[in-house]
Structure 1
Amino acid sequence: MRVTVVGGAGYKGCVLVPKLLEEGHDVVVYDLMLYGDEGLPEHDRLEVIKGDIRDVDAYTEAIEGSDAVINLACISNDPSFELDPHLSREINFECFEPMVKATVDAGVSRYIYASTSSVYGISDAPEVTEEHPLVPVSDYNKYKGMSEPYLLKYQSPTFTTVIIRPATVCGYSPRMRLDLTVNILTNFAVNRGKITVFGGGQKRPNIHIEDITDLYVDLLTRPPEQIEGETFNAGYENFTVRELANQVKRVVEEEFPDVGSIEIETTPSDDLRSYHVSSQKIAEKLGWTPQRSIEDAVRDICRAFREGLLPNSLEDDRYINVRTVKAQSLQ
């Protein structure tokens, strides 16, 4: 297949693209390159295009001849979104339907959209399923959820659409993010010997980056009748932030015994997102279940630190989306 990965130079894309190439697909990455493209491999079946998803003509040219589009693109996380709410609305919502329509018009037959499980906001439900009301607590969550119906609107026998609502992703990527819960906690534990927990009681589902990218690869070849017009949660382990911190503490102390006992400090938080995501639907309908744990993610990041793959991790802006976006001019 010829697969276009929109936003393919980011955290998930830099793990996904090598897998697509290994499967024998021709791959196009269409990305604004806010974080550069250093995390992507060099390959004769990979074409990398710097482009803005608001530019429909450029996007249309990029997807020419593609069989499938995997859309990972957005201004991700609340702090980055809030730097320029108008611009973020343009990128995360207003350009979405024109982009989908252009995809249909280009003859692409499959569209995989990476939404987010944070669309559920705050919920006391013991299991948050795909039918749960969307109660977003920020504009970032709201616009991700508002985009979903615009994709389903174009579902047809010749255009297979599927929406994935991933849990918070964790683990190592060549384009590393150290502003995601498990990744933040691991960085601080390894390099400060101290973890700060904001709040602690919030429930946060997580999924290993290798698992979520395996899922995107898998969805490319599923029979249309299994996935057409469907929305799936994709998570694995649901823990409170405090429980995550305790796991990170234990694993890092095992991986880096010289660090000694890692302190956990708790402070108040205004981030109230809390929900326990159910991934039963995707397990039952597709037989798909994650294979890697949060502990695996922490050990992978520890290995990256040992191998010198994450230099200056406490200070370098490239690991923190909001700092990188702030330094860019996107107008």
Structure 2
Amino acid sequence: MRVLLTGHEGYIGTVLAVRLREAGHDVVGLDTGYFADCVLGPAPADIPALRLDLRDVTPEPLAGFDAVMHLAALCNDPIGNLNPQLTYEINHRASVRLADAARTAGVTRFLFSSSCSLYGAGLGGDDPTDRPFLDENAGFAPVTPYGESKILSEQDITALADDDFSPTFLRNATAYGFSPRLRGDIVVNDLTASALLTGEVRLLSDGRAWRPLIHVEDIAAAFIALLEAPREVVHGKAYNIAQTSENYLIRDVAELVAEVVPGSRVTFADNAATDLRDYRVSGDLVAAEVPGFKPQWTVRTGAEQLLEAYQRHGLTEEAFRGRFQRIRRIQQLTGDGRIDGELRWSA
């Protein structure tokens, strides 16, 4: 298929673009370029691309594509909290306009990168062992603008579905693993870097929250499997992109990382508090309905991969706490006057 991949210069998009090519698809990217040069190791593969702000997309450049994979977004809770209104404008309203433009242009498949963060506070009492496994019919309890923006997007894009336009929603578990455009602000990547660079697997929370975790390569595999799945199976559906067996208490992730990184130990910040984001999810639906999706990674093998990559590419603490933290990158671009308060590139 001919696929437009938004956010192709992001953490997941950089991996997915290569995997799409390997699967025989013709891929074109669309990205505004905030994180284009946030690279660890050799430069990522170059693909043809549209240099566009998501907010400015019209139907014309979407003509001729069979599918849109929509990853572009303000990509985590700290950035979302920095300016909630921009989060809703970009993650929600611009995403819906993109879907509408794709439908107008005759694109038939639309795969939306949603998030398990829309489950938010999850369910259950004070005992972490009481947390149920949430399936796709569970209620939503977002605790951040980022999580809420994903709910609104799913609802409004679903309303566009018809006989000619078929959206599918990938509710990704929390990602981890090596990508050439590294993100350091996600838990396994962060804890592994901290262990290597400081000797401490440092937790900023009390570690009692549950989180489903999935490798970036497995997320890419899920996008391709859902793209290639029969339309009648996945039309208008949301899937938890997760393995039921890969739900972890954060403190258990920290202990696992300490086992992987020699000489490291788990520590807690002085003001470690409870994380309101606390949920575990079921991946049974995607496993049953999309047999082409077969996750290959566990948190342990992912941490081992990260450790090897960090060492091989000479990761430093300055770089990890700087350009590989999404909010720091946005603040740097703003502080340097390269983007304005609306996160648009300055003339």
User: Structure 1-normalised TM-score?
Assistant: 0.92
Of 66-75 and 119-128, deviating more is: 119-128
Letter in 2 for 1:240: L
1:66 alignment counterpart: 65
Of 21-30 and 313-322, deviating more is: 313-322
Task: For residues 160-212 of structure 1, give each alpha carbon's deviation from its aligned partner in whole angstroms, at most 9, with x where no partner exists.
Answer: 21101011000000000011001100000011001211221000110011111
Q: For residues 122 and 263 of structure 1, what CA distance do their matches in structure 2 show?
A: 25
Pick aligned residue for 2:255 from 226, 242, 246: 246
- Other structure's SS at 1:305 match: helix
Report the CA distance shift for 1:180/1:33 in structure 2 as closer, same or farther (over 3 A). Answer: same
2:10 alignment counterpart: 10
Pick aligned residue for 1:182 from 183, 188, 201: 188
Report the CA distance shift for 1:165/1:309 in structure 2 as closer, same or farther (over 3 A). Answer: farther
Task: For residues 82-125 of structure 1, give each alpha carbon's deviation from its aligned partner in whole angstroms, at most 9, with x where no partner exists.
Answer: 22222222101122222111000111110000100010011224
Q: For residues 136 and 201 of structure 2, what CA distance do their matches in structure 1 show?
A: 33
Contact 1:200 1:266 (C-alpha < 8 Å) held by counterparts: no
Q: For residues 261 and 54 of structure 1, what CA distance do their matches in structure 2 show?
A: 44
Report the CA distance shift for 1:310/1:68 in structure 2 as closer, same or farther (over 3 A). Answer: farther
Report the CA distance shift for 1:326/1:270 in structure 2 as closer, same or farther (over 3 A). Answer: farther
- Matching of residues 4-153 of structure 1 within 5 Å: 4-36=4-36, 40-42=44-46, 46-57=47-58, 60-123=59-122, 124=124, 125-153=131-159
Shift of 1:72: 0.5
1:298 alignment counterpart: 303
Contact 1:169 1:208 (C-alpha < 8 Å) held by counterparts: yes
Q: For residues 193 and 264 of structure 2, what CA distance do their matches in structure 1 show?
A: 15
Alignment of 1:278 onto 2:282? yes
Report the CA distance shift for 1:74/1:28 in structure 2 as closer, same or farther (over 3 A). Answer: same
- Other structure's SS at 1:115 match: strand
Task: For residues 229-283 of structure 1, give each alpha carbon's deviation from its aligned partner in whole angstroms, at most 9, with x where no partner exists.
Answer: 1110011211111000000000112xxxxxx242433542253110011111111
Alignment of 1:199 onto 2:198? no
Contact 1:33 1:50 (C-alpha < 8 Å) held by counterparts: yes
Letter in 2 for 1:201: R
Report the CA distance shift for 1:62/1:40 in structure 2 as closer, same or farther (over 3 A). Answer: farther
Task: For residues 133-167 of structure 1, give each alpha carbon's deviation from its aligned partner in whole angstroms, at most 9, with x where no partner exists.
Answer: 11101111111111101111122222121101011
Q: For residues 122 and 289 of structure 1, what CA distance do their matches in structure 2 show?
A: 28
Shift of 1:312: 4.5
Report the CA distance shift for 1:191/1:76 in structure 2 as closer, same or farther (over 3 A). Answer: same
Q: Would you identify which runs of 4 or more consecutive aligned residues in structure 1 move more than 3 Å?
A: 37-40, 309-316
Contact 2:226 2:290 (C-alpha < 8 Å) held by counterparts: no
Q: For residues 162 and 306 of structure 1, what CA distance do their matches in structure 2 show?
A: 38
How many residues are matched? 320
Contact 2:225 2:290 (C-alpha < 8 Å) held by counterparts: no
Identity %: 34
Q: For residues 84 and 54 of structure 1, what CA distance do their matches in structure 2 show?
A: 16
Q: For residues 183 and 261 of structure 1, what CA distance do their matches in structure 2 show?
A: 15
Pick aligned residue for 1:264 from 260, 264, 267: 267
Q: For residues 310 and 210 of structure 1, what CA distance do their matches in structure 2 show?
A: 21
Q: For residues 286 and 321 of structure 1, what CA distance do their matches in structure 2 show?
A: 32
Contact 1:83 1:326 (C-alpha < 8 Å) held by counterparts: no
- Any unmatched runs of 5+ in structure 2? 125-130, 334-338
Contact 2:209 2:274 (C-alpha < 8 Å) held by counterparts: no
- Other structure's SS at 1:169 match: strand
Q: For residues 116 and 323 of structure 2, what CA distance do their matches in structure 1 show?
A: 25
Shift of 1:315: 5.0
2:127 alignment counterpart: none
Letter in 2 for 1:89: Y
User: Structure 2-normalised TM-score?
Assistant: 0.88
